[in-house]
Amino acid sequence: MRTTTDPARLDRMFFALSDLQRRGILEALSNGPASVTELAGPLGMALPSAVKHLAILEQGGFVVSEKAGRVRTYQVDPKAFDAMQAWVAKHQRRLHAQFDRLDAYLAEQKTRAKR
């Protein structure tokens, strides 16, 4: 499982998701593999633009491609979000720990005020 939180990898992932059209491509690919033509048409995108966006998604680790003859088919990598989920979980744990400390401090202050 690739759950590394390498900063350069995370930068590529967040950059890949920063564009509405790329998120649209991921949404379309969530229905199954598709060729560049099948993706570009419904999204109202020119083929060169679609290829560019797909390359960025591939560099970000979200999609993988396979070429059969002249047709390149893309699909979502099933482990695509593992690294991002690990990063988010790490930061959630830190945030929850801070709130737990705040709760304990406030409870202590409340107890002291009652004395």
Of 65, 29, 76, 31, nearest to 40 by C-alpha is: 29
Alpha-carbon distances of 76 from 6, 8, 23, 24, 60, rounded to whole Å: 21, 20, 12, 12, 11
Question: Which domains are present in the chain?
Answer: 7-114 (1.10.10.10)
* Token pair 């998701």: residue: 17
How many angstroms separate the CA atoms of 53 and 39, rounded? 11
Q: What is the pTM of this model?
A: 0.74
- Stretch among 34-38, 49-53, 95-99 having the lowest mean pLDDT: 95-99
Question: Encoding tokens for residue 100?
Answer: 């737990």
Of the given ranges (22-36, 56-70, 89-103), which has the lowest mean pLDDT? 89-103
Coil, helix or strand for 72? strand
Taking all residues of the chain, what is their mean pLDDT, rounded to a whole number? Answer: 88
